[in-house]
């Protein structure tokens, strides 16, 4: 069909750019995961093809398991529970506030949004100052209340980093829900109220079904984005203490740029890719029931 | 116009190219990282001397104001992309790794003809020799001290000319301070990944050497794990961090524990700290020499039971010639002009380090500074950092092991077991005693 | 109930705004620290940023690169997303999902080959190099986003315009674009911000002083200026403010210009 051909033409520039700067590097990365390429040491002089040896090593490496589970905690904590629920709640509240003319909704919307468009490095800087043990805002506040200081980044690093990430990313979910909520006709809610349904049931039986696809997409997006989240954690804890906040993306980075073992680092990256694939398929299956 | 008119511009173009390639001057690229701001004037002086001697050569010196770790990454990427500079400046500990990666050229042919080589003591020459070749010329060496605050010691009723009789003495002294002087951190020794290189060279290695064990066997080219020695080291960590709580847990989690702890000792909020010699200069700059001499004391690290006292020596950072350099002879000429008696002496006066050349040490202005004099004296009692390939992997495993014990995450035995597993996985063959 | 919602709003506002309050107060403070306090007001941090740290150059670099990236990205995204949205192909969805998946290979792996490619093409330390890389890396997500947007515009609209005599291209401009303007604005904003704030690839793509961008300088500041000494909160905060300028501008603009129903306070 002539139209199809015309449309393919439109795709060419994107395909060209993405191939060179995306596909090829990714393929190189996948290839290198089967070697012991390194930037330093004797492997830098000549590398060997290793087959699956890197992956076998990975499955025996406790650091891998630690970072794997850290990634799970981080994604569930900050994205699935944190950003999703908080974004949802805020969106619902704003929507409600709009109808009942409660003041403050504009400020809430604004400040949540600001936290999201704020560059990640700055967010990392802000939160590392907030969590600073000796002089940070949080501990200063605790001292003011006469309470003992909490070693945020030392004793509860994962929680601290999760909170920072929730602060950072909630706006995305909030935006999605806000625009989605407006697509539901008011009449449905009115009908529901007449039928005697309370707010929670209205949400469950009207809102959710209508927005199923949007929920799916949103969950996929925030899961994948959070899985690859690097800069925020890096700026606050660099993965520490020890490996306590090292997620897979940090583990991959440190292996590649601190230990300079490129091959091994790429193997970690490929595992991340597979995990994303896995989650993607699950979400699609779960929500495509319609 | 004749039909060959189109060829004329093409011919001119080729002539232009040919002339250009002959006329292109030789370029020597020199890269180094520097945040402190001391090195540039000396590098520039060496550059000036070089340019006077070789006016036709284009010498490009680039100073990167970034941490040395970031510089290393940048350098390695450039080497990987075959765009390495001719001369670069990195830490001496990495020398074996660079040699194994075939990134650097041996300096042997040059140094044997260099008249200044005679001023370098045998121990230094041995330290820069790897697999039979000399690869670099150190200028400012690293030594480490057990620093302590004389004023806090006085408050605790302790003698201010401290010479610890062994590890237990260190812990007991710290305990006394904890009991009698409030609001002061008694003792800090680095552990865990947060401590970075400090964990290895200012924590683990000094303790390990204190048990008279070694970390690496040069003859066989393998790492050594002396289990009873390592256990003793881990027990010390456990006592200091967990049992007696002399070291605060934040040391394991602060983003830059060395920066914070140095500041604290300088400010009088920390009593005992094992750190590098170069830190002293920072305090002098901030608080003035007189002040620092009054309040900060330094002593050698004791072995487990006392003697021998020693310090952990390091080669510092030095210049190397890249194996990708097309003009190694000229690269050497630059390095030679940096490593002059005067530059070596002056740069190490400004950024206090003991010097590698004896004639620099004899210069009156160097000798006059008590601290530097002391540092140079202790070089005789220096045990050097392990000179081994894969040192960064080893360092990482040490950091993990000490961190696990210091945080209480694992017992000494489990952490040791884990370390052995990880070392075996990293290096294949490891000698276990 | 209304009071409860209001109280929750206050709590949310406090939680989200404290880090910003600290940042803004510290930048104007001569003795800023990690905790939030009333400033000893001064502009000296900013003056220092411009005089001692050459910030003018960095701001120019970042603005230029971000703007051109935005224009290029919007152009390519609009055309590509439209094409994908309208194309009829069995494997369309699989391609889309695989695109998104490719996007999730972490940067640390692709950084090294990208370094190699850019060096070979002599595009390191150049505007062109940055623009190409920044455009390319944002394409997968933005095309996906825009495609979803185009999907909501029924094809009947174009078909109607064809009957009226427009060619495909004209239809695109006269009919689709006006309707998709909000989407295009979103893509513009995201691509500009994405390029403005990019902080990972810049580390390996730029090291010459005259090509540095603001994120790179900020990164160096939080790792360097604190390297030998403690972090200078007042200076780095001022860097952060400068870094944030277009973000804040876009933020204010979006509140005013976007009169669509995404923004609360506007009656449905």
User: What digits encode the pLDDT tens for the residues A185-206?
Assistant: 777 777 777 777 777 777 777 7
Q: Give the residue, B263 or A201, on which the prediction is more confident.
A: B263
d(CA C224, nearest CA chain B) in Å: 6
Task: Give B3's pLDDT tier (boundaries 50, 70, 90).
Answer: low
Q: Is the pLDDT of residue A281 over 60?
A: yes
For residue B19, pLDDT beyond 70: no
A123 pLDDT higher than 90? yes
pLDDT in tens, B337-348: 999 999 999 998
Q: What's the pLDDT score for residue B58?
A: 92
Q: Could you tell me whether strands B87-91 and B317-321 are parallel, antiparallel, or unpaired per DSSP bridges?
A: antiparallel
Q: What is the CATH number of the domain that holds C234?
A: 1.10.3720.10
Local structure of C91: helix, strand or coil: coil
- C-alpha C195/C-alpha C217 separation (Å) is 15
Is the predicted pLDDT of residue C268 greater than 60, yes or no? no
Residue C207 lies in a domain: yes
Tokens encoding C184: 């295009």
pLDDT more than 90, % of chain C: 24
Quick check: is A4 in a domain?
A: no
Asked if A16 has any chain C CB less than 8 Å from its own CB, the reply is no
For B266, residues 6+ apart whose C-beta sits below 8 A from its C-beta are B282, B283, B286, B287, B292, B296
Whether B353 has its CB under 8 Å from any CB of chain A: the answer is no
Q: For B355-373, what is the mean pLDDT?
A: 86
Q: How many CB atoms lie within 10 A of CB A8?
A: 13
A197 versus C193: the higher-pLDDT residue is C193
Judged against a pLDDT cut of 70, whether residue B156 lies above it is answered with yes
pLDDT band at residue C172 using 50, 70 and 90 as cut-offs: low
Least confident of A94-98, B368-372, C66-70, C225-229: C225-229
Both tokens of C7, joined, read 């109280």
Of C132, C244, C268, the CB nearest to A122: C244
Quick one: pLDDT at residue B23?
Answer: 61
Average pLDDT over residues B291-302: 90
Span B278-287, average pLDDT: 83
Q: Is residue A105 part of a domain?
A: yes
CB contact under 8 A, C34 and A227: no
Range of the domain at A130: 61-289
Percent with pLDDT over 70 in chain A: 96
Residue C229 has pLDDT above 70, yes or no: no
CB-nearest to A21 from C17, C136, C243 is C136
Predicted confidence at residue C135, as pLDDT, reads: 93
Touching subunits for chain B (3+ Cβ pairs under 8 A):
A, C
Averaged pLDDT, B14-31: 75
Nearest CA in chain C to B79: C116
Cβ(C14)–Cβ(C2) under 8 Å?
A: no
For residue C167, is pLDDT > 80? no
Per-residue pLDDT at B20 exceeds 70? no
Mean pLDDT of A93-113: 85
pLDDT of residue B250: 81
Predicted local distance difference test score (pLDDT) of residue C261: 40
Confidence of residue B22 (pLDDT cuts 50, 70, 90): low
pLDDT range class, residue C165, cuts 50, 70, 90: low
Least confident segment among A16-25, A194-203, B379-388: A194-203
pTM of the model: 0.82
Average pLDDT of B155-179? 91
Q: A244 pLDDT band (50/70/90 cuts)?
A: confident
pLDDT at C84: 84
Chain B touched by C35 (CB under 8 Å): no
- Residue A268: which of A71, A14, A109 has the closest Cα? A71
C-alpha distances out from residue C169 to B226, C146, C152, Å: 76, 18, 19
Give ipTM to 2 decimals: 0.85
A134 to chain C, any CB pair closer than 8 A? The answer is yes
- The reply to whether residue A22 touches residue C137, judged by beta carbons under 8 angstroms, is yes
Residue C29 placed within a domain? no
Q: Which of B245, B281, B283 is nearest to B264 (CA)?
A: B283
Strands B306-313 and B382-384: parallel
The torsion region of residue C231 among left (phi > 0), alpha (psi -120 to 50) and beta comes to: beta
pLDDT digits (tens, 9 = 90+) for B99-127: 989 999 999 999 999 999 998 888 788 88
Q: What does pLDDT average to over chain B?
A: 87
Answer yes or no: is pLDDT of B362 > 90.
Answer: no
What is the dihedral angle through the alpha carbons of C133, C136, C141, C143, rounded to the nearest 10 degrees?
150
Can you give the pLDDT at residue B43?
94
Q: Identify the pLDDT of residue B2.
A: 52
Asked if the structure places residue C10 within a domain, the reply is no
Q: What does the pLDDT look like over C23-60, one tens digit per residue?
A: 999 888 887 777 777 777 888 888 888 888 889 999 99
**CB B184, CB B269: distance < 8 Å:** yes
- DSSP codes of every residue in B195-245: GTHHHIIIIIHHHHHHTT--SEETTTTEEEE-HHHHHHHHHHHHIIIIIS-
Residue B149 phi, psi (nearest 5): -90, 115
Answer whether A242 sits within 8 Å of B404, measured CB to CB.
Answer: yes
Q: How far is CA B183 from the centre of its chain?
A: 32
- Whether A284 has a pLDDT exceeding 70, the answer reads no
Provide the pLDDT for residue B24. Answer: 67
Give the SS3 label for residue A104: coil
Residue of C nearest to A140 (CA): C35
CATH assignment of the domain containing A94: 1.10.3720.10
Between A101 and C129, whose confidence is greater? C129
What is the tally of structural domains in chain A?
1
* In a domain? residue A37: no
Q: Which of C119, C207, C223 sits opposite B64 (nearest CB)?
A: C207
Q: Facing residues of B142 across strands?
A: B314
At residue C169, the pLDDT reads 65
Confidence of residue C258 (pLDDT cuts 50, 70, 90): low
* A99 vs A91: CA distance, rounded Å: 13
Give the up-direction half-sphere exposure of residue B367: CA atoms within 13 A in the CB hemisphere. Answer: 7
**Helix H or strand E segment including B274:** strand B270-276
Inform me whether the pLDDT recorded for A283 exceeds 70: no
Domain assignment present for A169: yes
- From A214, which residue of chain C is nearest by alpha-carbon distance? C148
Q: How far apart are CA C10 and CA A217, in angstroms?
A: 30
Side-chain-side CA neighbours of B287 within 13 Å: the count stands at: 19
Nearest CB among A111, A115, A253 relative to C108 is that of A253
The answer to whether B347 touches B271, Cβ cutoff 8 Å, is no
Residue A146: inside a domain: yes
Asked whether residue C260 carries a pLDDT value surpassing 50, the answer given is: no
pLDDT of B233 higher than 80? yes
Residue B94 clears pLDDT 50, i.e. is over it: yes
Range of the domain at C190: 45-259
Q: Which residue has the higher pLDDT, C202 or B37?
A: C202
pLDDT for B336 equals 92
Rounded Cα distance, C248 and C68, in Å: 19
Q: Is C34 part of any domain?
A: no
pLDDT at B153: 92
| Percentage of residues of chain B with pLDDT beyond 70 | 96
Taking the CA of residue C104 and the nearest CA in chain B, the distance in Å comes to: 23
pLDDT digits (tens, 9 = 90+) for B182-197: 889 999 999 988 787 8
pLDDT average, residue stretch B377-389 = 82
Question: Residue A119 is nearest to which of C36, C200, C243, comparing CB atoms?
Answer: C243
- Using CB atoms within 10 Å of the CB of residue B55, give its burial: 0 to 12 exposed, 13 to 18 middle, 19+ buried: exposed
CA C156, CA C26: separation in Å to the nearest integer? Answer: 55
C17 in any annotated domain: no
User: Taking 70 as the threshold, does the pLDDT of residue C257 lie above it?
Assistant: no
Overall average pLDDT of the A81-101 stretch: 87
Residue B149 has pLDDT above 70, yes or no: yes
Rounded to the nearest integer, the mean pLDDT of chain C is 81
pLDDT category at A1 given cuts 50, 70, 90 is low
Distance separating alpha carbons of residues C164 and A71, to the nearest angstrom: 55
Q: For position A71, what pLDDT does the model report?
A: 93
pLDDT higher than 60, residue C259: no
A251 located within any domain:
yes
Asked whether residue C73 is domain-assigned, the answer is yes
Residue C225 clears pLDDT 50, i.e. is over it: no
Residues of B in Cβ contact (< 8 Å) with A240: 192-194, 252-253, 255
Upper half-sphere CA count for residue C47 (Cβ side, 13 Å): 5
Q: Residue C67 contacts by C-beta under 8 Å, 6 or more apart in sequence?
A: C192
The number of distinct structural domains making up chain C is 1
Sorting pLDDT into bands at 50, 70 and 90, what band is A19? confident
| C5 within some domain | no
Mean pLDDT value across residues B207-234: 90
- Position B34 scores a pLDDT of 86
In a domain, A35, yes or no: no
* Alpha carbon distance C34, C18 (integer Å): 12
C257 or B250, higher pLDDT: B250
Q: How high is the mean pLDDT of chain A?
A: 85
Q: Is the pLDDT of residue B302 over 80?
A: yes
Max mean pLDDT among B244-253, B400-409, C200-209 falls in: B400-409
Using pLDDT thresholds of 50, 70 and 90, give the confidence band for residue C151: confident
Which runs of consecutive H residues, i.e. helices, occur in B239-338? 257-267, 279-287, 289-295, 328-338
Please check whether residue B102 touches A, CB under 8 A: yes
Are C22 and A129 in contact (CB < 8 Å)? yes
- In the predicted model, what is the mean pLDDT of residues B327-342? 93
């Amino acid at each position: 069909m002539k139209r199809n051909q015309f449309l393919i033409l439109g795709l060419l520039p994107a395909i060209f750019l993405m191939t060179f700067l995306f596909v090829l590097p990714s393929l190189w990365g996948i290839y290198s995961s089967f070697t012991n390429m390194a930037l330093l040491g004797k492997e830098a002089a000549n590398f060997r093809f290793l087959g699956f040896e890197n992956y076998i090593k990975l499955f025996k490496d406790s650091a891998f398991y630690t970072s794997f589970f850290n990634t799970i905690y981080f994604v569930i904590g900050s994205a699935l529970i944190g950003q999703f629920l908080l974004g949802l709640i805020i969106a619902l509240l704003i929507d409600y506030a709009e109808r009942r003319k409660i003041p403050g909704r504009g400020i809430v919307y604004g400040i949540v949004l600001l936290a999201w468009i704020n560059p990640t490095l700055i967010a990392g800087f802000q939160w590392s100052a907030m969590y600073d043990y000796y002089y940070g805002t949080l501990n200063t506040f605790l001292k003011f209340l006469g309470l003992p200081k909490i070693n945020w980044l030392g004793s509860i690093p994962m929680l601290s980093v999760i909170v920072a990430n929730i602060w950072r990313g909630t706006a995305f979910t909030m935006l999605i829900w806000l625009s989605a909520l407006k697509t539901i006709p008011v009449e449905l809610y009115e009908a529901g109220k007449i039928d005697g349904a309370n707010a929670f049931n209205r949400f469950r039986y009207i809102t959710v079904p209508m927005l199923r696809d949007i929920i799916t997409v949103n969950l996929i997006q925030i899961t994948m984005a959070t899985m690859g989240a690097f800069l925020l954690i890096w700026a606050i804890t660099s993965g520490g203490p020890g490996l306590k906040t090292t997620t897979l993306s940090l583990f991959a980075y440190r292996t590649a740029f601190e230990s300079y073992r490129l091959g091994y680092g790429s193997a970690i990256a490929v595992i991340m890719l597979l995990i994303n694939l896995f989650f993607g398929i699950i979400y699609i299956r779960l929500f495509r029931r319609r | 116009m004749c039909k060959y008119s189109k060829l004329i511009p093409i011919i001119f173009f080729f002539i232009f190219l040919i002339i250009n390639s002959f006329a292109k001057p030789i370029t020597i690229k020199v890269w180094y990282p520097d945040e402190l701001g001391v090195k540039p004037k000396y590098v520039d002086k060496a550059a000036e001397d070089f340019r006077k001697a070789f006016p036709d050569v284009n010498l490009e010196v680039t100073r990167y104001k970034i941490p040395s770790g970031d510089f290393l990454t940048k350098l390695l990427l450039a080497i990987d992309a075959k765009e390495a500079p001719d001369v670069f400046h990195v830490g001496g500990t990495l020398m074996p790794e660079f040699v194994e990666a075939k990134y650097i050229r041996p300096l042997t042919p040059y140094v044997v003809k260099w008249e200044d080589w005679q001023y370098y003591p045998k121990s230094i020459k041995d330290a820069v020799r790897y697999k039979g070749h000399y690869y670099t010329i150190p200028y400012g060496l690293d030594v480490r001290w057990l620093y302590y605050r004389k004023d806090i010691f006085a408050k605790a009723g302790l003698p201010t000319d401290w010479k610890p009789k062994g590890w237990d003495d260190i812990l007991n002294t710290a305990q006394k301070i904890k009991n009698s002087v409030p609001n002061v951190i008694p003792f800090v020794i680095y552990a865990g990944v947060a401590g970075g290189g400090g964990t290895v060279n200012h924590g683990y290695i000094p303790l390990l050497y204190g048990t008279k064990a070694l970390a690496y066997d040069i003859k066989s080219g393998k790492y050594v794990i002396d289990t009873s020695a390592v256990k003793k080291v881990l027990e010390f960590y456990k006592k200091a961090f967990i049992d007696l709580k002399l070291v605060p847990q934040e040391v394991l989690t602060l983003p830059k524990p060395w920066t914070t702890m140095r500041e604290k000792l300088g400010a009088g909020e920390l009593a005992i700290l094992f750190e590098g010699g170069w830190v002293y200069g920072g305090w002098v700059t901030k608080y003035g020499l007189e002040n620092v001499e009054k309040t900060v004391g330094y002593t050698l690290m004791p072995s487990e039971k006392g003697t021998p006292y020693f310090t952990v020596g390091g080669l510092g950072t030095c210049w190397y010639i890249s194996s990708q350099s097309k003009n190694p002879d000229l690269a050497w000429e630059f390095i030679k002009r940096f490593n002059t008696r005067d530059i070596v002496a002056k740069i190490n006066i400004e950024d206090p380090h003991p010097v590698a050349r004896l004639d620099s040490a004899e210069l009156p202005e160097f000798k006059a500074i008590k601290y530097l004099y002391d540092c140079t004296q202790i070089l005789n009692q220096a045990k050097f950092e392990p000179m081994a390939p894969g040192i960064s992997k080893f360092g990482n495993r040490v950091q993990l092991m000490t961190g696990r014990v210091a945080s209480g995450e694992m017992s000494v035995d489990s952490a040791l077991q884990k370390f052995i597993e990880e070392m075996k996985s990293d290096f294949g063959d490891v000698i276990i005693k | 109930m209304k009071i409860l919602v209001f109280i929750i709003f206050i709590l949310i506002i406090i939680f989200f705004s404290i880090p910003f309050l600290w940042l803004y107060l510290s930048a104007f403070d001569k003795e800023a620290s990690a905790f939030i306090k009333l400033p000893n007001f001064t502009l000296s941090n900013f003056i220092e940023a411009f005089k001692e740290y050459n910030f003018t150059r960095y701001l120019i670099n970042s603005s230029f690169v971000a703007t051109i990236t935005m224009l290029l990205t919007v152009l390519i995204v609009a055309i590509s997303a439209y094409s994908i949205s309208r194309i009829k192909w069995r494997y369309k969805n699989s391609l889309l999902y695989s695109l998104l998946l490719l996007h999730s290979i972490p940067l640390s792996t692709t950084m090294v080959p990208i370094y190699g490619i850019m060096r070979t093409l002599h595009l390191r330390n150049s505007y062109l190099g940055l623009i190409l890389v920044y455009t390319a890396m944002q394409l997968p997500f933005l095309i996906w986003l825009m495609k979803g947007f185009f999907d909501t515009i029924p094809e009947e609209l174009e078909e109607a315009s064809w009957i009226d005599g427009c060619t495909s291209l004209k239809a695109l401009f006269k009919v689709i674009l006006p309707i998709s303007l909000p989407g295009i604005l979103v893509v513009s904003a995201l691509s500009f911000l994405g390029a403005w704030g990019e902080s990972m690839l810049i580390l390996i793509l730029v090291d010459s002083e005259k090509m540095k961008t603001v994120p790179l300088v900020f990164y160096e500041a939080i790792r360097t200026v604190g390297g030998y000494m403690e972090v200078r909160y007042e200076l780095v905060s001022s860097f952060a403010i400068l870094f944030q300028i277009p973000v804040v501008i876009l933020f204010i603009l979006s509140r005013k210009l976007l009169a669509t129903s995404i923004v609360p306070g506007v009656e449905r």
